[in-house]
Amino acid sequence: MRCVICGIRISTVSTVDEAIEEGWTSYFYDGQTEIEVACPACTHALLQEGEEGEMEVKKEFRGKLKYLDEGSDEAWQDHSEVVMAVLENEPGKLN
């Protein structure tokens, strides 16, 4: 499983339910578009629970995120405020 925002992979779980137990978000919304999957650091920094209980991109980051394609290895965000928000929650991503 791979975070669609930062590109980090989780290899210690074999099911979505196990990933959710590890703090991963199985899907979230960016506007009306459903996006899959976000790691715990990106979830904490960039997502929030919406009015209907679904996870969604925080208002200040809407329209600023780019998401990985299945075949792409490009994982870095273009906007420094997005990068800083994630790194503040998980500085180990610099390594």
Tens of pLDDT along the chain (95 residues) come to 888 888 888 888 888 889 899 899 999 999 999 999 999 989 999 999 999 999 999 998 888 888 887 555 555 555 556 666 666 665 555 44
45 CB-side CA count, 13 A: 19
Contact 93, 8 (CB under 8 A): yes
Label residue 89 left, alpha or beta by phi (over 0 means left) and psi (-120 to 50 means alpha): alpha
DSSP 59: G
- Name the CA dihedral angle for 59, 95, 20, 57, rounded to a multiple of 10 degrees: 10
Which residue, among 74, 75, 48, has the nearest Cα to 62 in the 3D structure?
Answer: 48
Distance in angstroms (rounded) separating the CA atoms of residues 90 and 29:
22
Number of H helices, E strands in the chain: 3, 4
